[in-house]
Amino acid sequence: MTVYLNDLNKIAECVKRGKLFVLVTHSDPDADGLCSMLALGRALEAGRKDVEMIAGEALCGPLADVNGAEKVMTRPGIGPHDAVVALDCSDFSRMCPQLKIAGSPLINIDHHRSNGFYGDLNYVDPEASSTAELVWRLIRTVSLPLDKEIAGCLFAGVQSDTGSFIFHNTTSECLSFAAEMVKLGARPWESWRLLHASYGIERLDLLRYALETLELHGSGKIAFLNVTREMLERSGAAQHDCEQLIEFPRNISGVEIAVMMRQAGPRSFRFSLRSNGKVNVAAVAGGFGGGGHKGAAGFEMEGEPGILKSMVMHAAVESLETHPDPVEPELK
């Protein structure tokens, strides 16, 4: 196992000494980021610590219904704290902009290969299945309590980031971790149902509109999908309903790279990239200031949609033509 920066023991000592902690995950959080934060927050509270959890923006969609999500704030509310813990956040800029960390140690716990090691203490392991797995290791190291609710959150995190245990990051250690969470009371069906099978009809209408934009490039090896504001308005769907739509073009036979362009503002567009094994899309995203994993990455840009699309598709074609070492597909 390659651990890029392993300050786990130092982090554990900081947690043991401290009393008041602020936990934060990245903007537009996914299940791994949110559930890792909720699990660590509950474990710290069970260990008689005070905790504040921040997501930077209001939770919506299935994530808003995760047990404990009602405790998550959109901006800091407490005074001085012993440490800020950033979870599943590869880049410092993706954290809550109102967060004040001056004078407090910043702890960075993450599994993204593109992590910038911005913390005073860093526990970054790109070989880990998920940030949830790293939180589990921290909880064990500190000897914090583990109950059914914590186990459920940790299981949901790893279940989400491994694509329900089918992507390459599904290691033997990951499965042992997941099995331990089930022993403690996690219910796989319930977490899968909540996170992946509880969408409204609006999402299906959005999918119908989005699939009308499907394009194949590069002799059928690159698939492109577009989601506009107008589609969201017509369908009544929300931004969170766009999650996982990229899996449809990705699953087309012969496709190596899937690209989804999603309109986030008048001139702001979020790009999601997925690879089926031949291309490191984190490198592609890095060229536009983004990051992620080899098989799943993303970034955001502003400009004219036609120009942005051309730039990204050109980069995708170039990356395919360079014939990099194959990578196993993974989920962001």
| Bridge partner residues of 263 (DSSP) | 269
For residue 102, what pLDDT is reported?
62
For residue 1, what pLDDT is reported?
46
Residue where the block lists tokens 């577009």: 226
pTM of this prediction exceeds 0.75: yes
10-residue block means of pLDDT along the chain (332 residues)?
76 96 90 96 97 85 87 75 92 70 85 90 95 98 96 96 88 96 96 84 96 96 97 93 92 97 94 92 92 87 96 95 57 44
321: CB partners within 8 A, 6+ apart: none
For residue 332, what pLDDT is reported?
44
Rounded CA separation 159/195 (Å): 10
Say how many C-beta atoms besides its own lie within 10 A of residue 155's C-beta: 28
Element (H, E) at 73: strand 72-73
For residue 328, what pLDDT is reported?
52
Residue type, 201: I
For residue 194, what pLDDT is reported?
85
Which domains, and CATH codes, for the chain? 5-196 (3.90.1640.10), 201-321 (3.10.310.30)
CA dihedral 155, 160, 161, 165 (to 10 degrees): 80
Q: Is 302 exposed, middle or buried (0-12, 13-18, 19+ CB in 10 A)?
A: exposed
Rounded CA separation 247/323 (Å): 23
